């Protein structure tokens, strides 16, 4: 498969994934791409077709919302790659494990907060979540912070303490493994 390898970005909510990705997209315009999610509504035949594709393992992630099924298919990721763009996949750790079972061969990067306390501050500072949501995110973060060090799961774990330093690291990892291969 020609084209640059996709990049998986994972890590707890509030660790700084969007902040880092935003900088990356601004500094490297036209280098990155996102796979377009396919949406199937409640219409029976569409939904059935999507379910069949899910059963065949064609999707790397799916979600259901208001009776609609959403998903990112493997072919959508390959389409981005075929265009010579680095496909960014922002997924949770379950998504990482799922992608490992495919032949997509991405680079796996985990973005971690320096500590759970700092993460909590950032989540509160962002002021986008209810208290209940903050608590459930912190709970999920504890698991994520442990699992990210599992041998072989991520190619690199970047601790986002100082934003500029974390961004430098992210760029250098991408330059080493992906930015050059397009
Ligand atoms: N290095 C940093 N130092 C201080 N604040 C930071 C740093 N990185 C990100 N932040 C701030 O922390 C908050 C959470 O960051 P961000 O929204 O990028 O997280 P995220 O990982 O994308 O979360 P989600 O998965 O919920 O989208 C934001 O308000 C952001 O401005």
62-94 per-position pLDDT tens digit: 888 777 788 888 999 999 999 999 999 999 999
Whether the CB-CB separation of 114 and 160 falls below 8 Å is answered with yes
User: Of all protein residues, whose CA lies closest to atom 24 belonging to ligand 1?
Assistant: 13
Domains of the chain: 7-34+85-175 (3.40.50.300)
Average pLDDT estimate for 136-146: 97
* Ligand 1 centroid – CA 141 distance (Å): 13
Q: Is the CB of 126 under 6 A from ligand 1?
A: yes
Determine whether the shortest distance from the Cβ of 118 to ligand 1 is under 6 A: no
Atom of ligand 1 nearest to the CA of 125: 29
Residue 17 · residue 90 · CB < 8 Å: yes
Residue 45's pLDDT is 66
- Residue 106's φ and ψ, nearest 5 degrees, are -85, 175
Question: In the prediction, which pLDDT does 181 show?
Answer: 45
pLDDT value at residue 182:
43
Q: What is the mean pLDDT of residues 16-21?
A: 96
Measured between alpha carbons, how far is residue 107 from residues 48, 64, 66, 130 in Å?
A: 32, 27, 33, 33
Closest residue (by CA) to atom 26 of ligand 1? 13
Q: Please give the share of the chain, as a percent, with pLDDT higher than 90.
A: 68
Name the residue with higher pLDDT: 125 or 62.
Answer: 125
* Residue 122, ligand 1, Cβ within 6 A: yes
Is 40 in contact with 50 (CB distance < 8 Å)?
A: yes
For ligand 1, whether the C-beta of 127 sits within 6 Å is no
| Whether ipTM exceeds 0.90 | yes
Residue 16 beta carbon below 6 angstroms from any ligand 1 atom? yes
For residue 118, report the distance from its CA to the centre of ligand 1, in Å. Answer: 10
Query: How open is the CA angle 119-62-46, to the nearest 5 degrees?
Result: 155
User: Which of 21, 55, 22, 30 has the alpha carbon at shortest distance from 182?
Assistant: 30
> Whole-model pTM?
0.91
15 lines ligand 1 (CB under 6 A): yes
pLDDT per residue over 149-182, tens digit each? 999 999 999 999 999 999 999 999 998 876 654 4
Ligand 1 centre to CA of 125 (Å) is: 9
């Amino acid at each position: 498969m020609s084209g640059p390898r996709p990049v998986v970005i994972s890590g707890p909510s509030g660790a700084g994934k969007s902040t880092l990705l935003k900088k990356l997209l601004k500094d490297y315009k036209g280098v990155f791409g996102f796979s377009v999610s396919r949406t199937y509504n409640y219409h029976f035949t569409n939904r059935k077709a999507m379910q069949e594709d899910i059963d065949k393992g064609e999707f790397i992630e799916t979600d259901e919302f208001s009776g609609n099924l959403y998903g990112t298919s493997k072919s959508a990721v390959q389409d981005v790659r075929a265009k010579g763009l680095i496909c960014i996949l922002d997924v949770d750790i379950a998504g990482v494990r799922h992608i490992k079972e495919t032949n997509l061969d991405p680079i796996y990067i985990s973005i971690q907060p320096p500590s759970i306390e700092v993460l909590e501050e950032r989540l509160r500072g962002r002021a986008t979540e209810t208290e209940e949501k903050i608590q459930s995110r912190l709970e999920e973060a504890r698991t994520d912070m442990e699992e990210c060090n599992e041998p072989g799961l991520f190619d690199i774990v970047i601790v986002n303490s100082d934003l500029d330093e974390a961004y430098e690291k992210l760029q250098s990892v991408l330059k080493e493994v992906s930015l050059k291969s397009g």
